[in-house]
Structure 1
Amino acid sequence: MNPYVLMILVSSLGLGTTMTFASSHWMLAWMGLEINTMAIIPLMTQKQHPRAVEAATKYFLVQATAAAMILFASTTNAWMTGQWDINNLPNTTTCTMITFALALKIGLAPMHLWLSEVLQGLDLLTGLILSTWQKLAPMALLIQTAQMADPILLTSLGILSSLIGGWSGLNQTQLRKILAYSSIAHMGWMIIVIQHAPQLTLIALLMYIFMTSAAFLTLKKVSATKINTLTTVWLKSPILAAMTTLVLLSLGGLPPLTGFMPKWLILQELTAQGLPTVATFMAMTALLSLYFYLRLCYAMTLTTSPSTSNSPPHWRTQTNQPTLFLTTITVITVGLLPLTPMVLTMLM
C-alpha cells in the first residue's frame, strides 16, 4: 500500500477514536465510530484475496447495522428528552438498544458470530488492529452509559460472552479464530464488572490490549496461522517459543503472570458486591479458555514437526523485523503482576 494512503488511513483511525473519546454528543460519537469503520476497511482489503474482501464486506454490514441502531436510539432519545447528551438516557428502551448496538460493535455474545469469520479473513496485523484499537471507542461509550443500563442485561452479556468465548474456542485449529474467541471471552470479563467498577474494566482492557498485541505480533514473527505450524517454532527460535508460551498462559490468566491481575481484581469486586455465584461461574468459564491456551502451548513446546509435512515448513525466522515493540509488550504481558498496587493507585 502507498505510504501516504496508509498514513491517511491510520490517522483516520486515530481521529475517529479520539473524536468518540472527546465527545459528549451522540452525533459526534456516531461520526467518530463511522470514521473508524471507514478507515479500517481499506486496510482489510489491501491483501488481494476473496477471503479478505468477504471479511471486509461482513465487517461493513455489521458495523453499519450497529451504527444505524445507535443513530436511531440517540435520535429517539433526543426527540423524547430534547438533549443529545451521552450521559442522559432516561428511557430504558433507548439505553437497551444502544447497549445492544455497542455489544454488536465489539462482538459480545450473542452478537459475536461475525467476529471469528471476519478475523479469519484478515492478515495478522490488520487482525491486531481489529482486536485492539477498534474496541476502544465502543468500550468508551459503554463505560459512559453503563450506569444507566439494566444490570441484569450487562451481567447476562458478560456471562454469555465468557462462556461462549471459552466453549467455542475448544475445537478450533485456526489461530486467528482462537484469538477471536479469546477476545469474546475477555470482553465478557470487562462487561461483567463495568457497572460496579469501571476502573477495573479499564484495567482489564489495557491488559487485554498488551497481551493480545504480544500474541498477534509473535504469531506474525513466526508466520503461524494454524496450530500445526506452531510445532516448528521451537526448532526455529527456542527463546521466542518460550516467551510465546508465557504470553499465552498470561492470556489464560495464570499467576504469576500479568493476565491474572484483571481476573483476580474482577472476581474480588464481584464478591464484594454480593455476587459470589456470578464470580464462581466466571472463574469456571476461565478454565475453558485456559484449555485452548494450554493446547497451543503444548503444540509449541512439547511436540515437534513431523518429517512428512504436506507444506514446506519455514525453518528460519525473519531477522529484519523490528523487535523493540514486541519485546516491550512481552515484558509487560509477563511481569506486570507485582506492580498491581501501583496500577490500582494510578487508575482507581
Structure 2
Amino acid sequence: MNPLILIMIMLTVILGTTIVMMSSHWLMIWMGFEMNMLAVIPLLMKQYNPRSMEAATKYFLTQATASMLLMLAIIINLLYSGQWTFTKLMNPTASIIMTLAMAMKMGLAPLHFWVPEVTQGISLSSGLILLTWQKLAPLSVLYVISPVINLDLILLMSMMSIAIGGWGGLNQTQLRKILAYSSIAHMGWMASILAFNPTMTLLNLLLYILMTTTTFMLFMATSATTTLSLSHMWNKMPLITSSTLTIMLSLGGLPPLVGFLPKWMIIQELTKNNNITLATLMAITALLNLFFYMRLTYATSLTMFPTMNNMKIKWQFNNKKQMKYLPMLIILSTITLPLAPAITLLN
C-alpha cells in the first residue's frame, strides 16, 4: 500500500474514533462510527488475497448492521426525549437496542461470530488494530450510557462472552483465532463490571490493549501464525520464548503478573455488589482461557522439538525486523502489578 494512502487511512480511523469519543450529539457519534468502519476496511485488505477480501466483507456487513441498530436506537430515543444529546437515553427499548449494537461492534457474545473469522483472514498488523483500537469507540458509548444500561442483559452477555471465549479457543491451533477468542473473553470481563464501576472497565481495557499489543508484536517479530510455527521459535530467538511465556501467563491472569489485577478487582467489585454467584462462575470459566494460554506456553517454551543440527544455530543470525518498542511493552504488560495500590486509590 502507498505510504501516503496508508497515512490518510490511519488518520481517518483515528479521527472517526475521536469523533465518537468527544461528541455530545448522537448524529455525530453515528457519523464517527461510519468514518471509522469505512476507513478500516482497506486496512483489513492491506495484504490482498481472497481470504482478506472475505474477512473485510464479513466485517463490513456486521458493522453496517450494528450501525443500523444504533441509528434505530437514536431515533427511538429522539421520539421519546426530543433531544439529540448524547447523555440523554430516556427509553428502555432504546437502551437495549443500543447495547446490542455496541455489543455487535465490539464482538460480545452472542453477537461474536464475526470476530474469529475476520481476525483469521487478515494480517497480524491489521488484527492488532481490529482487536485493540476498534474496541475504544463502542466501549466509550457504553461507558456514557452505563447508568441506564439494562443490567440483566449486560451481565448475561458478559457471562456468555467469558464462557464462549474460553470454549472457542480450546481446540484452536491458529494464533489469530486464539487471540480473537481471548478478545471475546476479555470484552466479557469488561462488560460485567460496566454497570457497577465503569472506571474499572477502563482500567481493564487499558491493560488488555497493553497485553494484546505486546502479544501481536511478539508474533509479528517471529512471523508466527500457528502453534507449530510458534514452537520453532526457540532456535531463532531464545529470549523471545521466555517473553512469550510471561505474556501468555499474564493474559491468563496468573497472580504475579499484571493480567491478574483487573480480574482480581472485578471479582472483588462484583462480590461487594452481592453478585457472588456470577463472580464464582467467571473465575471458574477463566480457567478455560488459562488452559489455551498454557498450551501456547508449553508449545513455545517448555518443549524442544527434534530438529536438524544446522537449525539449532539459527539464533546466531541477525534479525532484520525492528523491535524498538517490544522491550518496553513486555515490561509494562508483565511486572506492573506493584502499581496496583496506586491504581486502586485512583479508582
TM over 0.5: yes
Matching of residue 88 in structure 1 with residue 96 in structure 2: no
Q: Which secondary structure state, in structure 2, belongs to the residue aligned with residue 335 of structure 1? A: coil
- Alpha carbons 2:108, 2:161 under 8 Å: kept: yes
Partner of 1:235: 235
How many residues in Structure 1 have an aligned counterpart in Structure 2? 344
| One-letter code aligned to 2:146 | A
Structure 2 CA distance for aligned equivalents of residues 238 and 39 of structure 1: 38
Partner of 2:28: 28
Partner of 1:200: 200
- Alpha carbons 2:166, 2:289 under 8 Å: kept: yes
1:292-315 CA distances to partner (integer Å, 9 max, x unpaired)?
A: 00000000012233449xxx9995
Structure 2 CA distance for aligned equivalents of residues 167 and 31 of structure 1: 36
Distance 1:54 1:220, change over 3 A: same
Say what the alpha-carbon RMSD is for the aligned residues: 1.6
Partner of 2:272: 272
Structure 2 CA distance for aligned equivalents of residues 218 and 305 of structure 1: 20
1:186-244 CA distances to partner (integer Å, 9 max, x unpaired)?
A: 00000000010011100000000000000001001111101111111111111111011
**Structure 1 unpaired stretches of 5+:** none
| One-letter code aligned to 2:112 | H
When normalised by structure 2's length, the TM-score is 0.96
Q: Which runs of 4+ in 1 moved over 3 A?
A: 305-308, 312-318
1:25-50 CA distances to partner (integer Å, 9 max, x unpaired)?
A: 11111111111111111111121210
Matching of residue 14 in structure 1 with residue 14 in structure 2: yes
The 5 A counterparts of 1:174-253 are: 174-253=174-253
- Alpha carbons 2:234, 2:300 under 8 Å: kept: yes
Structure 2 CA distance for aligned equivalents of residues 108 and 222 of structure 1: 30
Identical-residue share of aligned pairs (%):
46
Partner of 1:157: 157
The 5 A counterparts of 1:69-108 are: 69-108=69-108
- Alpha carbons 2:235, 2:313 under 8 Å: kept: no
When normalised by structure 1's length, the TM-score is 0.96
- Alpha carbons 1:221, 1:318 under 8 Å: kept: no
Structure 1 CA distance for aligned equivalents of residues 36 and 119 of structure 2: 17
TM-aligned CA deviation for residue 278 of structure 1: 0.7
Partner of 1:143: 143
| One-letter code aligned to 1:250 | S
Moved more, 2-11 or 335-344: 335-344
Matching of residue 166 in structure 1 with residue 172 in structure 2: no
TM-aligned CA deviation for residue 69 of structure 1: 0.6
- Alpha carbons 1:232, 1:300 under 8 Å: kept: yes
TM-aligned CA deviation for residue 96 of structure 1: 0.2
- Alpha carbons 2:194, 2:201 under 8 Å: kept: yes
- Alpha carbons 1:104, 1:111 under 8 Å: kept: yes
Partner of 2:129: 129
1:39-83 CA distances to partner (integer Å, 9 max, x unpaired)?
A: 111111121210000000000000000001101110121122111
Q: Which secondary structure state, in structure 2, belongs to the residue aligned with residue 57 of structure 1? A: helix
| One-letter code aligned to 1:8 | M
Distance 1:71 1:277, change over 3 A: same
Partner of 1:116: 116
